[in-house]
């Protein structure tokens, strides 16, 4: 079966710049350009969901200068890509705790989400101030806070399946299918707090290619590999 949802950990921007004796920020700039090509590839392949890990809950630990640069890049990206979303029927969604961003950025994200909410060719999801553990914690709090105190004890009578449905419908990714292909560039072989719930049955792809060097040819090869794998979802 063709993948419905591809998620990518875009790693290696800093090293890409370092090799060239440039500031890490140049790597991020170059990395942002690759995002458009991969998004267009998903459109062409008719893959309906693409999630990109653009800023993690841990990325605040970077230098103030790098964090500021990433915020500016993101704002610019949302502005410059608006035309692409509109011309290509792409829906934009953000996941993560957006409340930590400045008001301008939050407004730009919300506006683009609203503007594209009826688009249906592809949903491009940016993970922003996102971490899976944080998402799950916020999810449980959302569930508890949505219920009147008098109804809280009814949660104890839920079956595990009912609880699973309840959790899924309150995740940041509610109404988005689970991840089929999880790709990480940059050579590390870890998941780094990304889509831990949603990628439970994902096929994993790790490449040493640094994100700014990641090509259509390489993702094409990964797709062919994916199509040749037998997925069992715990069965035989």
User: Which residues are known catalytic residues?
Assistant: 11, 59
Task: By CB under 6 A, name the one of 50, 54, 171, 223 that touches ligand FPP.
Answer: 54
At its nearest, how many Å lie between ligand FPP and the CB of residue 193?
A: 12
Give the Cα separation of 236 and 224 in Å (integer): 22
Q: Nearest to ligand FPP by Cβ — which residue?
A: 14
Nearest alpha carbon to residue 93 among 27, 30, 176: 176
Q: Please, which residue, 16 or 226, has the CB nearer to ligand FPP?
A: 16
At its nearest, how many Å lie between ligand FPP and the CB of residue 234?
A: 32
Q: Please, which residue, 32 or 176, has the CB nearer to ligand FPP?
A: 32
Give the Cα separation of 215 and 34 in Å (integer): 8
String marking each residue 203-232 x if it binds ligand FPP according to CB under 6 A: --------x---------------------
Token pair 């971490």 in the structure block, residue? 131
At its nearest, how many Å lie between ligand FPP and the CB of residue 69?
A: 10
Q: Got the DSSP string for 97-166?
A: -GGGS-HHHHHHHHHHHHHTTT--SEEEEEEEEE-HHHHHHHHHHHHHHHS-HHHHGGGGG--HHHHHHH
Helix (H) or strand (E) run with residue 6 in it: strand 5-9
Q: Which residues contact ligand FPP (rule: CB under 6 A)? A: 10-15, 28, 31-32, 35, 52, 54, 59, 73-74, 77, 126, 186, 211
């Amino acid at each position: 079966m063709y993948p419905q949802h591809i998620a990518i950990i875009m790693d290696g921007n800093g090293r890409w710049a370092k090799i060239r004796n440039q500031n890490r920020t140049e790597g991020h700039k170059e990395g942002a350009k690759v995002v458009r090509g991969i998004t267009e590839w998903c459109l062409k392949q008719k893959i309906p969901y693409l999630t990109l890990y653009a800023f993690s809950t841990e990325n605040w630990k970077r230098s103030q200068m790098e964090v500021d640069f990433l915020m500016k890049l993101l704002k610019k990206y949302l502005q410059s890509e608006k035309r692409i979303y509109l011309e290509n029927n792409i829906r934009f969604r953000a996941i993560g705790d957006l409340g930590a961003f400045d008001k301008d950025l939050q407004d730009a994200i919300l506006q683009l989400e609203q503007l594209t909410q009826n688009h249906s060719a592809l949903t491009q999801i940016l993970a922003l101030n996102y971490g899976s553990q944080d998402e799950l914690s916020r999810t449980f709090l959302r569930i508890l806070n949505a219920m009147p105190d008098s109804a809280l004890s009814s949660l104890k009578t839920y079956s595990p399946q009912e609880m699973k449905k309840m959790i899924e419908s309150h995740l940041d990714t509610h109404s988005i299918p689970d991840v089929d292909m999880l790709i990480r560039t940059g050579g590390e072989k870890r998941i780094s707090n990304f889509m831990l719930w949603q990628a439970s049955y994902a096929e994993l792809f790790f490449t040493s290619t640094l994100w700014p060097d990641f090509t259509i040819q390489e993702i094409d090869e990964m797709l062919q590999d994916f199509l040749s794998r037998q997925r069992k979802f715990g069965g035989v």
